[in-house]
Amino acid sequence: MNLAENRSERSHAHGRRQTENVTICNRAHSRVVAAIEEVSDRLPYAMVGLGCDNGAELINHALVAWCAERAIFMTRARAHTCNDNAHVEQKNGDIVRKSAFRYRYDTPEELTLLNELWGYVNLRKNFFLPTKKANGWRTTKAGRNTRTYDEPKTPYQRVVDSGVLTKEQAGRLQALYARTNPAELTRINRIQQSLIASAKDKTLTLRAQGFVNRTGSSGSAPRDRVSPSRNGTVTASCGVCDAPLPTGKQRLWCSDACRQSAWRRRHTTTVAPVELSAARSRREQTVYECPECETRLLGEQRCQDCGTFMRRLGSGGLCPCSGEPITINELLNG
């Protein structure tokens, strides 16, 4: 099973920001389409548009056909313009990473826990966490332009106030809000503890067996290092100077100096010197033919057998099959 992919689908129409997260086990087209269809069914209103990045798991015939079948217009980000997805990408840190952290989850049990976690996280985000929406600009006394925001509202209040819901949709949404108990959302902490215990135990076991030394890519195991202590247990240590880290805190480095040193290591690339071959002259790439014995030579203007000057046939080289000099035109014309 590959690394679990967290896909967050959100709606922005009419100022609504409904958050729905689904975790899938890989990037197969069938799983991505099934996940987006599940998100579409969860939304309290009909999905009219789908915006995505340029990943192959989203730009494919299966998803395009799914959108065309349901009359959903599909847009994508511009190439080499990462800021097009700024509003969606920032949710990876605000919701995905803060709720599920940066561990590696690659088992069916962890996949089940993640999807169970998102059910509670989505309820808390949509019903109980108010947000502010930028609605304009104002000029301060110092002459600077600054943003203005509306009154804080939860996504639930915004979608109800928008007036786009039918009576049936509004009734289902109000019933879901009425039976949601905020005290039950504390189960988020228990699920998070289960995920942390599962990911950390797995990582320490692999490192103790020598299969994993140190990882640090996004979505993988934590980048802290481990070392055996005096009593035989495994403790976390700094990734730069190997100093022991304080227990009870999720830290990667012991000081700011080590953190800056680790940053310089990640962003400093060593480029191997490239040896460039000597440029060949134009004559060395020209095929010549003797007018008397019809001998062909590459880069030679006088026949070695007859001693006469040879006529120029054109640019070329050695034939890959026979090894005889041949021009480019002859090679292309067969």
Structure tokens at 249: 């805190």
What is the spatial distance between Cα 13 and Cα 271, in angstroms, rounded to a whole number?
A: 47
Give the DSSP letter string of 172-235: HHHHHHHT--GGGGGHHHHHHHHHHHHHHHHHHHHHHTTS-S---STTSS---EEEE-TTS-EE
What is the spatial distance between Cα 145 and Cα 157, in angstroms, rounded to a whole number?
A: 29
Which has the minimum average pLDDT: 144-148, 190-194, 204-208, 326-330?
Answer: 204-208
Number of continuous H segments (helices) and E segments (strands) in the chain = 10, 12
What mean pLDDT is predicted for residues 42-54? 89
* For the chain, percent of residues with pLDDT exceeding 90: 39
* Digit-coded pLDDT (tens) for 111-130: 999 999 999 999 999 999 99
pTM over 0.95: no
285, 301 Cβ separation under 8 angstroms: no
* Digit-coded pLDDT (tens) for 292-308: 887 888 888 788 777 78
Cα atoms found within 13 Å of the Cα of residue 227, Cβ hemisphere only: 12
Domain 5-138+146-185: what homologous superfamily?
Answer: Ribonuclease H-like superfamily/Ribonuclease H (3.30.420.10)
Domain spans in the chain, listed from the N-terminal domain onward = 5-138+146-185, 224-263, 283-333
